[in-house]
Amino acid sequence: ENAWEYTVHVRSGELVLYDKDWNTVPSDSQVFFNPEEGIIELSISTSSWSISPWDKPVYLTVFSALEEFGHAREINEVASEWYGGGGTEGETDPDVYDLLFYPSSLQPEALSGYTETSWATLPPEAAGEVEFDR
């Protein structure tokens, strides 16, 4: 089972919301780009989300990766024309280039915490707590 309840994908200016089973969730949403300021802002209606109970904190992890057919493009051990380097040929490396809420100096260690049989687990500090209006 995935470690999230919902995942938001933004690609080519389109926002797609998935539940933990990779079903598309209808959502009234907007994506705003401001290239001059380097800002991407998302507005997502949470009215159809089934997170319970709502009185608990909600945490977001925001990361950047390259998109390939709806999933993150693999980061291989050695970089090539189409793939980044520094990962593994297996499935357990996170294929993530950057974390938003975590200092860049600490990211290599956080993103390298995987083995051939276990996934990388991000520290709690890599998530940002947000408040949702219901």
> Per-residue pLDDT tens for 72-98?
777 878 888 888 787 777 778 788 777
The yes-or-no verdict on residue 1 having pLDDT over 60 is no
Q: How far apart are CA 121 and CA 112, in angstroms?
A: 9
pLDDT digit string (tens) for 24-71? 888 888 888 888 887 778 787 777 776 655 566 666 677 776 666 666
State pTM to two decimals.
Answer: 0.58
Contact present, 43 and 30 (Cβ < 8 Å): yes
What's the pLDDT score for residue 62? Answer: 72
Q: What size, in residues, is the chain? A: 134
Residue that the structure tokens 């499935």 belong to: 91
47 or 113: which leads in pLDDT? 113
What's the pLDDT score for residue 118? Answer: 82
Question: Domain-by-domain residue ranges, the chain?
Answer: 65-123
The yes-or-no verdict on residue 132 having pLDDT over 70 is no
What's the pLDDT score for residue 70? Answer: 64
28, 30, 84, 89, 115 from 79: Cα distances, Å: 38, 34, 5, 11, 20
Contact present, 15 and 6 (Cβ < 8 Å): no
Residue type at 47 in one-letter notation: S
Contact present, 56 and 20 (Cβ < 8 Å): no
The yes-or-no verdict on residue 111 having pLDDT over 70 is yes
